[in-house]
Structure 1
Amino acid sequence: MADIENLANSLTHDELLEVTKSSLCTLMSCEPLFSDLPQDIVLEEVLSQIAVEHGQAITVLISREEEPPLKVIIPQIATVRELKKAVARHFEFHQNRTGSKVKISWRYIWRTYDLNFDGIILDNDNSNIDDYGVSNKVVLTFKKRKRK
């Protein structure tokens, strides 16, 4: 224990951060539950993954035209509004990881597009996703809204 304290006192802050980060990366890659998670994961993503394993949350894939699908984790009893917030949050994580600085106007996105599941448009923000038949591992797509 004294050796660890001496080592911690002799390292600079940046070196200690690097040692901690590499140790966490090693632990994350060895644990099968977390092996598919990114290396720069945040606490929110870890808690979401744990909720999925305990059956408290579901994974929904958001299909985009030319881009790879987004894997979004939401509570089982989420509303469409909570799903939309989770999509925006996940996309923010995705942009941070890819280094993209493009500003997305989610207000514009949700005014222009709806989420679509099996031909059913998720148009009522206050209804549960369960009402539309959305369950674990389903694929949702963006569909252009029709003008009224």
Structure 2
Amino acid sequence: MDIDNLSNLSHDDLIESTQLTLGTLLRTDPLLSDLPQDIILEEIVSQIAVENGQSITIFISRDPEPTLKVIVPQNATVRDLKKATARHFELQQKRTGLKVKISWKYIWKTYHLAYDSLILDNDDQCIEDYGVCNKVVLTFKKNKKIKQ
């Protein structure tokens, strides 16, 4: 499509043409082929930060559900990780078309994230203090109720 024809397109046609072009680019480029077709700016910025060493990728295992791939800054706190997990899950649901209401307040009251045998229980502590680094796998561990 040449530039002269672009001025004759409606806004919707231009958006569709742009999405088709970006989709083709993402599918054919070996560096971009693993990115989703409907990627948003936030995800692009996160991927660039990972490539520049400013952010890390953390995998969160949710047996039997698929593992979540969450990107957070290197100096992220446990709270930042929890927010990024919720945001990633929201984007994943949007892409799959599922509309499951999740109460993250309930999730974080019921479960902790764990790295090996360490429980990430202090929301204000840096994840690096727990030994969490790039490409580690975290799991959900059920909170143990303390009887009084």
What is aligned with 2:138? 140
What whole-Å deviation, never above 9, does each CA across 1:107-132 have from its counterpart, x for those lacking one?
01000000011011000000000010
Match of 1:10 in 2: 8
| 2:86 counterpart SS class | helix
The TM-score with structure 2 as length reference comes to 0.93
Specify the code of the residue in structure 2 equivalent to 1:109.
I
1:88 maps onto 2:86 in alignment: yes
From 97, 101, 125, the equivalent of 2:95 is 97
What are the Cα deviations for residues 38-97 of structure 1, in whole angstroms up to 9, with x where unaligned?
Answer: 000000000000000000000000100111101000001100000000000000000000
Within a 5 Å distance, the mapping from 1:122-141 to structure 2 comes to 122-141=120-139
**Percent identity among equivalent residues?**
63
User: Hey, what's the Cα distance between the residues in 2 that align with 1:33 and 1:50?
Assistant: 12
Letter in 1 for 2:137: V
CA distance in 2, matches of 1:75, 1:101: 28
The residue correspondences of 1:72-83 to structure 2 (distance < 5 A) are 72-83=70-81
In 2, Cα distance between equivalents of 1:5 and 1:33: 28
CA distance in 2, matches of 1:80, 1:102: 24
- How many matched pairs? 146
1:21-100 equivalences under 5 Å are: 21-100=19-98
**Unmatched segments (≥5 aa) in structure 1:** none
- 1:114 aligned counterpart, secondary structure: strand
Aligned equivalents of 1:70, 1:105: Cα separation in 2: 17
For 2:107, give the aligned amino acid: I
SS of the aligned residue for 1:68 comes to: strand
TM-superposed CA distance for 1:5, in Å, is 4.1
Distance 2:3 2:95 in 1: 33
Instruction: Identify unmatched segments of 5+ residues in structure 2.
Output: none
Residue identity matched to 1:32: P
Matched residues in 2 for 1:5 and 1:119: separation? 59
